């Protein structure tokens, strides 16, 4: 009975986590859509703001480029580019500026040797390997009744969960840096800052939701293994 309780509890927790994930995804899109219609009083584009913050931190070797898509913004440390999406790059909205400042926050983390991002980069190769192989290894372990393979699959999936866990402080710190810079450099004012903060908070919740889904899935794998 104790096992059955735990087994079905993990399913319930997983459903709750998935619903939270759906809400987080909806919320980030609706929040960004709302604040993409509220424009900065300074009238500078997100790309210009990104360039300004980079230069103020002495990061002249990092380029700001345009990429297609909606909210496909990211920082590529290997190519040293801040990639801003179509809905962000040329926009003067407070939402777009918040997103651009957040991505520059990641560039600053790398430049200053922020410890969590170093840990995340160390775990990244294992997490990438795990994302491609964990399910196949786990299923082979079940199919051929090989606990070693089954456990190896779970360990690889656990590496993905660990990577997502380390990602949280990285993302929250980048957002914190963004808001502090926006305030310190007078990029946004008053309610404009609130709009940027709400946009970044909504984005951060998607990472929390993804972690919650992965943790409940890991618990389900562990209880299924215990059953066997």
Give the start-to-end residue ranges of the domains of the chain.
2-227
pLDDT range class, residue 8, cuts 50, 70, 90:
confident
* DSSP codes of every residue in 80-116: TEEEEETTTTT--BHHHHHHHHHHHHHHHHHHTT-HH
As given in the structure block, the two tokens for residue 115 are 């410890």
Return the DSSP state at 145.
T
The confidence score (pLDDT) of residue 80 equals: 96
| Catalytic-residue membership of 103 | yes
Q: How far apart are CA 171 and CA 159, in angstroms?
A: 18
pLDDT score of 5 more than 70: no
Q: How far apart are CA 98 and CA 12, in angstroms?
A: 35
The confidence score (pLDDT) of residue 227 equals: 61
Q: How would you classify the pairing of strands 74-76 and 81-85? A: antiparallel
Beta bridge mates, 59: none
Rounded mean pLDDT, 202-211: 97
Rounded mean pLDDT, 176-193: 96
pTM for this entry:
0.90
pLDDT > 90 fraction of the chain, expressed in percent and rounded:
87
pLDDT score of 36 more than 90: yes
Please identify which of the residues 103, 171, 183, 192 carries the catalytic annotation.
103
The confidence score (pLDDT) of residue 225 equals: 76
Rounded mean pLDDT, 87-98: 97
């Amino acid at each position: 009975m104790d096992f059955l309780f735990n087994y079905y509890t993990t399913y319930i927790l997983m459903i709750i986590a998935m619903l939270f994930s759906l809400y987080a995804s909806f919320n980030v899109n609706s929040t960004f859509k709302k604040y993409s219609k509220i424009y900065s009083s300074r009238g500078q584009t997100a790309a210009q703001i990104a360039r300004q913050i980079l230069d103020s931190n002495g990061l002249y070797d990092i380029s700001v480029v345009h990429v297609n898509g909606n909210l496909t913004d990211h920082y590529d440390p290997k190519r040293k580019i801040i990639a801003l999406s179509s809905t962000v790059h040329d926009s003067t909205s407070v939402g777009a500026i918040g997103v651009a400042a957040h991505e520059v926050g990641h560039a600053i983390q790398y430049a200053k040797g922020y410890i969590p991002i170093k840990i995340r980069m160390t775990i990244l190769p294992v997490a990438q390997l795990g994302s491609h192989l964990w399910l196949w290894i786990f299923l082979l372990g079940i199919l051929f009744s090989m606990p070693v393979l089954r456990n190896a699959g779970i360990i690889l999936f656990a590496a993905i969960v660990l990577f997502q866990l380390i990602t949280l402080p990285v993302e929250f710190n980048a957002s914190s840096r963004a808001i502090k810079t926006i305030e310190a450099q007078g990029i946004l004012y008053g309610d404009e800052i609130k709009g940027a903060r709400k946009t970044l908070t909504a984005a951060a919740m998607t990472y929390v939701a993804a972690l919650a889904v992965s943790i409940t899935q890991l618990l389900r794998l562990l209880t299924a293994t215990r059953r066997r």
